[in-house]
Amino acid sequence: MITIDYKSRVPIYDQIVNGIIRLKVIGVLNDGDKLPSVRQLALKLSVNPNTVQKAYAILENNGVIYSVSGKGSFISGDETAQDAIVYAARDDFKRAVEEAYRKGLAFADLEKIIKQIYEGGKEND
């Protein structure tokens, strides 16, 4: 489900946000699906419940999830959720490109990788 990299520079709450968005994008989570409670997810991920609460608040503010008092949090199906997913994808892409740049990947190589992905091929190192 969601994996946390405790050594990452990305805050844990952002990893949770991105993990839930990723699960929605790949179809593991669908519109109306109930999310684990804050305490359940905190126990499963071995993180502080406040961290999960912060992630859920961000997701709710972005329209990816909604809460029903006494019932829990659910995956949203509205347009705002899709916009948040696209924004998260752009943010993830930007971070990946910045990291590749820092590690010396040439622009031509990056362009080649993007073209291969969009044409449905696999990257051949």
pLDDT tens-digit map of 47-81: 999 999 999 999 999 889 999 999 999 999 877 77
Range of the domain at 113: 12-118
For the chain, the domain total comes to 1
d(CA 78, CA 13): 23
Task: Select the more confidently predicted residue: 32 or 90.
Answer: 32
Residue 36 sits in a domain whose CATH number is 1.10.10.10
Neighbouring-strand partners of residue 113: none
Domain-located, residue 36: yes
- What confidence tier does 122 reach under pLDDT thresholds 50, 70, 90? low
Residue-wise pLDDT tens digits, 105-118: 999 999 999 999 88
Q: Which helix (H) or strand (E) holds 45?
A: helix 38-45
- C-alpha to C-alpha distance for 46 and 55, rounded to whole angstroms: 14
What does the angle CA 49 – CA 93 – CA 117 come to, to the nearest 5 degrees? 125
pTM above 0.75, yes or no: no
- 2 assigned to some structural domain: no
